[in-house]
Amino acid sequence: MNVIRAVGRLWLVPVTLVAWEIVTRAAEQPFFPPPSATLARMGEMWLSGPPAHLLLTEQAMDDFGPSLARLFAGWTLAAVLGVAAGVAIGCSSRLSGYLDPLIHLGRAVPPPLLVPFFLALLKLSTPAQLTTIVFGIIWPILLNTVDGTRTVDRQHLETARIFGFSTVQRLTRVIVPAAMPKIFAGLRLALSLALILLVIAEILAGSGGLGYRLLSAQRSYLYTDMWGCLVVLGLLGYLLNSAFLLLERRVLAWHRNARQTT
Amino acid sequence: MLEITDLVHSYGSHRVLDGVSIRAAEGELVCVVGPSGCGKSTLLRSVAGLIRPTGGRVLIGGQPVDRIPDNLAVVFQDYSRSLYPWMTAANNVALPLRRRGLDRRRRREAAMAALDQVGLADAAAKYPWEMSGGMQQRVSIARALAYRPSLLLMDEPFGSVDAQTREDLEDLVLRVCAHHGMTTLLITHDIDESVYVGDRVIVLTRSPARVAADLPVDLGESRDQIATRQLDAFVRLRAEVGRLVRGGSPTSTVLEKQ
C-alpha cells in the first residue's frame, strides 16, 4: 500500500522529464539541451572511468572531491563553533546581552559579498571558501542552539539542581540533549545553505570543484556540461538532505516518540 | 529531623505563606493538605531550597537550608517533565548517583535495585515515553529511593494518574518509606489520600497559608485500600480534614484526642 502511494506521488517526475525532452527536441535551442543529452554528457564526464574506480573518471574526482571536502569541512566547523557558542550564549544572559546585537548584525551581511574580502585577507582560495561557508551557515546553527538552550523545561533544570548535577553533567546530560531538536533543525538548514555557498564561493574564488566546472562550462559555451553540473548539484542537495533526515530520525527518536505519546 | 519555623514568603506584595511551622520526626510521613492555590508548592520549594523564603527558617537534620541540601530528593507531580525523555529508565535513576561517588557498575546496580523495589525491574531499558503515567511516576520514585535521601519531598505525586494507579502508588510509597525509614513530606490537595497515607496530617488555610490544624492519624502501621477506608477512625478524620480544608474550625472531639 505504501509502495503504491509512493509510486503514485512520483509519477509527475517522469511525465515532466518526457515533456521537457519533447519540447527541447522540438525547439532545438542551444541553451536548453534535451535531458537525454544532458544525462549522456553527465555519464561521459563523470561515469565512464575504469571499473576499479567505480566507473568514476578523473574529472569526477577533480570536480566532486574538493567540493565535497569543502562542504563537509565547512559544515562540521560551523556545527562545532555554532553549537559551542550557542550553548555558552544560551546559558549566560550577560553574554547574550553583549553579543545579541553583533549576532544580528553579522547575520544580516550577505555572505557572498565577503568572498572578495576573505580572498584578499587569506590569499588562498580554499581557506577563503571555507571561511565564506562557515560565516554564511553558522547563523541558523547558532541561533537555534541559543533558542534551544534557553527554552529547556524548567522542571528538567530543577531536577538537575535538586540532584546536584555538576556543570558538565548539566550541560551534557540535560541542556544539550534538550536543545537537540532545535540544534538539528539548524544543522539541516545549514547543510542546504552550505551547498549554495559552496557553489558561490567556487564560482567567485574558484580553483576546481563543481562551481568552478559550472563557470568554465558556461564560459566555453558548453551548455550541456553546464546543465550536467546543475542537475548533479540538485541531486547532491537532495541526497544530503535525505541522509541528514535519516540521521536525525535515529538521534531524535526519543523526541518524535515523546511528542506522539503526550 | 525537619523543622520549619515561622516560614513566610511573598511574591511581591502578595503574601503566600504567613508563618507556617511544621515539624517532622525521623521516619515520619507527614501529609500537607490544603485548598488549591494556598501555597503548598511554595512551601515545598522553600524546603527544597529552590526558592529563598522571605522569612522564617528551615532546618533539615539540624542544618539550615540556605541552598539545595544534598540529602534531599523530590518527586514532582508532572512526571512527564521530571524524567529525561532522552534516557532509559535505568539511566534516569542512575544519573544522580554520580554525586554519591559510585562507579558505573555500582550506579547501575543501585538503579536496578531501586527499579526492582517499585516493581519495574523489567522496564530498565525502556524510555519514559514507552511507559504509562503510573510507570513513569514509579521511575521517578525509584530515582528518589536510589539517591538515599534523608528527606523525601513529594509534590502532589499522584495528581496526574488514574484512580487505580493512584491507589497502587499510595501503597508503594507507604511500603518504601517504611522500609527505608525515610522522613517524607507529601503535599496533596486530596483529603482522602492525606489521611490514608499520612502518619500526621497538616491542614493549611486558604492563602496566605497558615497551619489550621496538625492531626495525628491513628490508623496503625499497615493500611489497606478497602479495610482502612472503612474504619470509623478513618471516616471521622477524613470528615474533620475536609471541614478544615473548607475553612471550618477544629471540632472538640479531635481536639480532645490531641
Asked whether the CA dihedral A39, A42, A44, A49 is positive or negative, the reply is negative
Q: Answer yes or no: do B227 and B173 share one domain.
A: yes
C-beta of residue A228 within 8 angstroms of C-beta of residue A38: yes
pLDDT of residue A175: 95
The CATH number covering residue B169 comes to: 3.40.50.300
Measured between CA atoms, the residue of chain A closest to residue B129 is: A258
Model confidence, pTM: 0.84
For residue B143, the chain A residues in CB contact (below 8 A) are: 163
pLDDT of residue B80: 80
Does some domain include residue B78? no
Measured between CA atoms, the residue of chain A closest to residue B149 is: A163
Tell me how far apart the alpha carbons of residues A92 and A150 are, in angstroms, rounded to a whole number: 9
Provide the pLDDT confidence category of residue B30 given band limits of 50, 70 and 90: very high
For residue A164, the chain B residues in CB contact (below 8 A) are: 68, 70, 96, 99
Over residues B238-247, the mean pLDDT reads 84
Q: Answer yes or no: do B165 and B236 share one domain.
A: yes
Over residues A62-83, the mean pLDDT reads 92
Contact (CB<8Å) A166/B87: no
C-beta of residue A149 within 8 angstroms of C-beta of residue A96: no
Provide the pLDDT confidence category of residue A49 given band limits of 50, 70 and 90: confident
Q: Which of A7-11, A127-131, B29-33, B215-219 is predicted with the least confidence, judged by mean pLDDT?
A: A7-11
For residue A169, the chain B residues in CB contact (below 8 A) are: 95, 98
Query: Does the structure show a pLDDT above 80 at B255?
Result: no
Q: Answer yes or no: do B67 and B181 share one domain.
A: yes
Which of the listed ranges A37-41, A51-55, A133-137 does the model predict with the highest average pLDDT?
A: A133-137
Provide the pLDDT confidence category of residue B258 given band limits of 50, 70 and 90: very low
Contact (CB<8Å) B99/A261: no
pLDDT digits (tens, 9 = 90+) for B66-101: 888 888 999 998 878 889 999 999 999 999 998 888
Which of the listed ranges A125-134, A214-223, B106-115 does the model predict with the highest average pLDDT?
A: B106-115
For residue B149, the chain A residues in CB contact (below 8 A) are: none
pLDDT of residue A218: 86
Asked whether the CA dihedral A152, A156, A160, A166 is positive or negative, the reply is negative
Last residue of a domain, one of B148, B173, B200: B148
Does some domain include residue B16? no
Average pLDDT value for chain B: 87
Q: Answer yes or no: do B160 and B241 share one domain.
A: yes
Tell me how far apart the alpha carbons of residues A122 and B187 are, in angstroms, rounded to a whole number: 65
Over residues A92-107, the mean pLDDT reads 88
* Tally of domains in chain B: 2
Does some domain include residue B79? no
- The three-state DSSP-derived secondary structure of chain A is CHHHHHHHHHCHHHHHHHHHHHHHHHHCCCCCCCHHHHHHHHHHHHCCCCHHHCCCCHHHHHHHHHHHHHHHHHHHHHHHHHHHHHHHHHHCHHHHHHHHHHHHHHHHCCHHHHHHHHHHHHCCHHHHHHHHHHHHHHHHHHHHHHHHHHCCCHHHHHHHHHCCCCHHHHHHHHHHHHHHHHHHHHHHHHHHHHHHHHHHHHHHCCCCCHHHHHHHHHHCCCHHHHHHHHHHHHHHHHHHHHHHHHHHHHHCHHHHHHHHHC
Q: What percent of chain A has pLDDT over 70?
A: 98
Q: Answer yes or no: do B163 and B192 share one domain.
A: yes
Set of cell numbers at residue B196: 490514608
Measured between CA atoms, the residue of chain B closest to residue A179 is: B86
Q: What percent of chain A has pLDDT over 90?
A: 39
Contact (CB<8Å) B99/A258: no
Does some domain include residue B96? yes
pLDDT of residue A1: 63
> Grid coordinates 538548514 are at which residue?
A189
Does some domain include residue B205? yes
pLDDT of residue B251: 67
User: Structural domain boundaries of chain A?
Assistant: 64-256
Contact (CB<8Å) B129/A161: no
For residue B72, the chain A residues in CB contact (below 8 A) are: 162
Q: Residue B108 belongs to what domain range?
A: 84-148
Does some domain include residue B227? yes
pLDDT digits (tens, 9 = 90+) for B144-187: 999 989 999 999 888 878 888 888 889 988 888 888 888 999 99
Query: Does the structure show a pLDDT above 60 at B22?
Result: yes
Q: Which of residues 112-171 of A touch B (CB under 8 A)?
A: 153, 155-156, 158-159, 161-166, 169
Does some domain include residue B139? yes
Does some domain include residue B222? yes
For residue B95, the chain A residues in CB contact (below 8 A) are: 163, 165, 169, 173
CATH 1.10.3720.10 fits A64-256, yes or no: yes
Using a CB–CB cutoff of 8 Å, tell me whether A177 touches chain B: yes
Contact (CB<8Å) A156/B129: no
Query: Does the structure show a pLDDT above 90 at A202?
Result: no
Residue spans of beta strands (DSSP E) within chain B = 2-11, 14-24, 29-33, 55-60, 63-64, 72-75, 151-155, 183-188, 200-204, 211-216
Measured between CA atoms, the residue of chain A closest to residue B131 is: A261
Contact (CB<8Å) A162/B70: no
Contact (CB<8Å) B130/A257: yes
Measured between CA atoms, the residue of chain A closest to residue B77 is: A155
Query: Does the structure show a pLDDT above 80 at B253?
Result: no
- Report the gap between the CA of B237 and the closest CA in chain A (Å): 34
Contact (CB<8Å) A161/B73: no
Q: Answer yes or no: do B222 and B155 share one domain.
A: yes
Q: What is the ipTM of this complex?
A: 0.86
Q: Answer yes or no: do B139 and B163 share one domain.
A: no
Over residues B130-134, the mean pLDDT reads 89
Last residue of a domain, one of B113, B131, B148: B148
CB atoms within 10 A of CB B177: 22
A49: buried, middle or exposed (CB in 10 Å: 19+, 13-18, 0-12)?
middle
Query: Does the structure show a pLDDT above 50 at B218?
Result: yes
